[in-house]
Amino acid sequence: MKVAFFSTKSYDKEYFTKFNTDNVHELTFFEVPLNEQTAVLTIGFEAICVFVNDIINRETIKIIKQNGISLIALRCAGFNNVDLKAAHENQIKVVRVPAYSPESVAEHAAALILTLNRKTHKAYNRVREGNFSIENLTGFNLFAKTVGVIGTGLIGKAFCKIMLGFGCKVLAYDIKESSDLVAKGVVYKSLDDILNESDILSLHCPLTPETAHVIDANAISKMKDGVMIINTSRGALIQAKDAIEGLKNGKIGYLGIDVYEQEADLFFQDLSESVILDDVIARLISFPNVLITGHLGFFTKEAVEEIATITLNNLTSFENNRELVNEVKS
């Protein structure tokens, strides 16, 4: 099957080529993202493979349909960047990788918490400059703190178990409770209760119309003073401008984000010699109590191997008219 990959990096080429056993698929890698302007590159292909910041809207789908594309393969779990209704209307199937390594993202969320709390990144920089002072590097014990988790899917579950291991009191909010987590001591509560009671709040829910900007000025106002907010899910779960106000007035004591609503023009690129034109993220970067990682949470060896394997299996299943177990339906 001839497949066009978009938004590719060196690791995409490495892992997909490695696991494309016997070259069963003909893979072509494009570094550019897929959108209305680049959709012309899909001519001559049967399927496309896309990532989180590719824009597969109605117009893009119209173009790729005309070019002969019959399958959109997402090499990620989220699918909010795909117009599923338009894909269905154009008889284009959509598949994804629903779970690759929940632990990779959950562990990264824990790393953000520990780094922000114990300020290890600042200590590292000080020591490299010969400064062994620990002034202003005071942290706090995670033990016995209340951790609120919004979303207890596979990643949220893995995160809850990590926090329980630290001896935290874990509260959770989801439309469906996990009996496994309840048995381990996680307490499900209302969203308002989670916001009111949490010392640390971690987001692990998908981006939907209902969850968009779930953390806004109103939600922040209900939180404890000095709360820590962690987001390793989708950038648009947080209204960034409201978070900035919360940081300025001290309501938010720590903010750790691996995702950002306008990340498509920033993340996965080396902009070290460029002027950052996004004033919102520039302001966020300026805070000493904000830690931003550029969509790094998924990026472990185990996760990338699983992403490649499942995506290639999705392609093979489609080509051989087998059941698409990972199909996303409108």
Q: What is the pLDDT of residue 253?
A: 98
- Which of 26, 65, 32 lies closest to 50, judged by CA? 32
- Which of 54, 55, 58 lies closest to 85, judged by CA? 58
Query: Which position among 46, 197, 261, 263 bears the catalytic label?
Result: 263
Q: What is the pLDDT of residue 78?
A: 87
The order of strands in the sheet holding 146-150 is 187-188, 169-173, 146-150, 200-203, 227-231, 252-257, 290-292
Decide: helix, strand or coil at residue 255.
Answer: strand
What is the residue extent of each domain of the chain?
A: 2-100+301-319, 102-292
Tokens 């000025």 found at: 217
Q: What is the pLDDT of residue 67?
A: 98
Q: What is the pLDDT of residue 146?
A: 98
User: Any idea what DSSP says for residue 267?
Assistant: T
Q: What is the pLDDT of residue 330?
A: 73
Establish whether domains 2-100+301-319 and 102-292 are of one fold.
Answer: yes
Helix ranges (DSSP H) in the chain: 10-19, 58-66, 84-89, 102-118, 120-128, 154-165, 179-184, 191-197, 217-221, 240-248, 279-286, 301-319
Instruction: Give 180-198 pLDDT, tens digit per residue.
Output: 999 999 999 999 999 999 9
Instruction: Give 249-300 pLDDT, tens digit per residue.
Output: 999 999 999 999 999 889 999 999 999 999 999 999 999 999 999 999 999 9
Superfamily (CATH) of domain 2-100+301-319: NAD(P)-binding Rossmann-like Domain (3.40.50.720)
What is the C-alpha to C-alpha distance for residues 269 and 261, in angstroms, rounded to an integer?
A: 16
- Which of 68, 78, 13 lies closest to 259, judged by CA? 78
Query: Which position among 25, 197, 295, 306 bears the catalytic label?
Result: 295
Q: CA separation (Å) from 175 to 103, 104, 189?
A: 22, 24, 11
Let me know if 197 is a catalytic residue.
Answer: no
- Quick one: which H or E segment has residue 297? none
Query: Which position among 25, 108, 204, 234 bears the catalytic label?
Result: 234
Let me know if 263 is a catalytic residue.
Answer: yes
Instruction: Give 121-149 pLDDT, tens digit per residue.
Output: 999 999 999 999 999 999 999 999 999 99
Which of the residue ranges 99-103, 132-136, 152-156 would you say has the lowest mean pLDDT?
99-103
Phi–psi pair at 60, nearest 5 degrees: -60, -45
| Residue 100: band (very low, low, confident or very high) from pLDDT cuts 50, 70, 90 | confident
What is the C-alpha to C-alpha distance for residues 99 and 76, in angstroms, rounded to an integer?
A: 8
pTM: 0.91
Phi–psi pair at 199, nearest 5 degrees: -85, -35
Let me know if 295 is a catalytic residue.
Answer: yes
By CB atoms closer than 10 A (0-12, 13-18, 19+), residue 120 is middle
Q: CA separation (Å) from 73 to 11, 183, 203?
A: 17, 36, 25
- Which of 78, 101, 82, 103 lies closest to 233, judged by CA? 78
Superfamily (CATH) of domain 102-292: NAD(P)-binding Rossmann-like Domain (3.40.50.720)
Instruction: Give 211-236 pLDDT, tens digit per residue.
Output: 999 999 999 999 999 999 999 999 99
Instruction: Give 39-97 pLDDT, tens digit per residue.
Output: 999 999 999 999 999 999 999 999 999 999 999 999 998 899 999 999 999 999 999 99
